[in-house]
Amino acid sequence: MSLEKFGWNFYFESEFERFAGAGREPARVALADREQFVVWSEPGERDATVAGRLRYESDAWPAVGDWVALEAGTRISAVLPRQSVFSRKEPGDVTREQVIAANIDVLFVVTGLDGDLNLRRIERYLLLAWESGAKPVVVLNKADLCENTAQAAAHVQALASGAPVALISALEGWGVPDVEVHLRPGQTAAVTGSSGAGKSTLVNRLLGHERQRVQEVRADDSRGRHTTVRRELFLAPAGWLLIDTPGLRELQLWATSASVDLAFDDIAALAAQCRFRDCRHQGEPGCAVATSGGIDQSRLASYAKLQRELAHLDRKVDQRAAQDEKRRIKRIHRAMRGKYRS
């Protein structure tokens, strides 16, 4: 089996050089389930665990899609630097990144058109998608259940900052070619979105067989039942790779403000012409965003809200970094005291 089939390229080849030797081989994480991993390497598919050392050496815990150095055929001893990474903030109080999928070329943000179309939620997904470094594509699924698909598509197009929007029915199978056009052999895509949006139904369509379990949404509010519970990589017959992920209950941001400008390129272009560089577009004199009239009020409010959230995250990350630094200095001092005593 050649590694190229699994997405191996020149970038990873070069990054692997410093890990080469000592019985280490490159492998790709196909399934990550807490402490248990399935990896793909030259000889094929294998179960793997994480080498004890890795827990202390770095922050990088292997995620699905990662390229790793595999020792003795079963132990992951290093995670290669990622080409792209789709993350969110870990749910709860901790200020930590949670990697959802690594090394993806395309990210399909899947939404069902069966309930209310939540434009603000799509904006959040798109912000993280732009941050990931992968190419975002919005997939409006369950178009068979929607009366006015053209209007839904137009609303989403208006907020997508140029990301393609595909209108499909994964169940009935139409529109799927508009999803497939974004994939090339050797490339990796991931699907993300709320539970019940139809991610696994789409994955089955794309793979050409019923690989993933799907389950009906709740009749009263169209919400899903969190059917998919693991992040898993599949190899499609056409030669590209696809990651199915569980629906996310919470989508807290893990991003930089640069991604806000990518995700809101309409506002960013106008904001560059505001008189004051720190214009918040809330009635300041000479505000180009306010006078243009072309920006929807709710989109502008969403832009401001996401920026506030990111500013808050920045402060917390800074605090955390400062704490880490303090701990590191303390450790060094302790080590030095020990050294001079002996």
User: Which residues are near ligand GTP by CB under 6 A?
Assistant: 141-142, 144-145, 169-171, 195-201, 214-217, 224-228, 246-247
Greatest alpha-carbon pair distance for the chain in Å reads 79
Nearest approach, Cβ of 337 to Zn ion (angstroms)? 55
CB of 63 to ligand GTP, least distance (A): 18
Residue 231 Cβ vs ligand GTP, minimum distance, rounded to whole Å: 11
Q: Taking CB under 5 A as the criterion, which residues in 215-274 touch Mg ion?
A: 227-228
* The one segment of 124-132, 137-145, 195-203, 316-324 that binds Mg ion by CB under 5 A: 195-203
Which residue in the set 289, 306, 310, 313 belongs to the binding site for Zn ion (CB under 5 A)?
A: 289
Report yes or no: 48 and 75 within 8 Å, Cβ to Cβ.
yes
> How many chain residues are in contact with Zn ion, going by CB under 5 A?
5
Q: How many CB atoms lie within 10 A of CB 180?
A: 14
CA 98/CA 57 separation, integer angstroms: 18
Radius of gyration of the chain (CA): 22
Query: Which of Mg ion, Zn ion, ligand GTP, none is residue 218 near (CB under 5 to 8 Å by kind)?
Result: none
- Please give, one letter per residue, the 3-state secondary structure of 223-284: CCCCCCCCEEEEECCCCCEEEECCCCCCCCCCCCHHHHHHHCHHHHHHHCCCCCCCCCCCCC
Q: How many residues does the chain have?
A: 342
- Cβ at position 109, least distance to ligand GTP in Å: 12
Binding mask 242-281 for Zn ion (x = CB under 5 A): --------------------------------x----x-x
Rounded to a whole number of angstroms, the minimum distance from the CB of residue 107 to ligand GTP is: 14
Q: How far is the CB of 248 from ligand GTP (least distance, A)?
A: 8
CB 207 within 8 A of CB 223: no
* Integer Cα distance of 188 and 206 in angstroms: 13
Taking CB within 5 to 8 Å according to partner kind, which of Mg ion, ligand GTP, Zn ion, none is near residue 198? Answer: ligand GTP
Contact at 8 Å (CB) between 127 and 172? no
Given 77, 187, 194, 200, the residue binding Mg ion (CB under 5 A): 200
Residue with tokens 């509010």: 221
Which one-letter DSSP state was computed for residue 218? P
Q: Which residues bind Zn ion (CB under 5 A)?
A: 274, 279, 281, 287, 289
Q: Which residues bind Mg ion (CB under 5 A)?
A: 199-200, 227-228
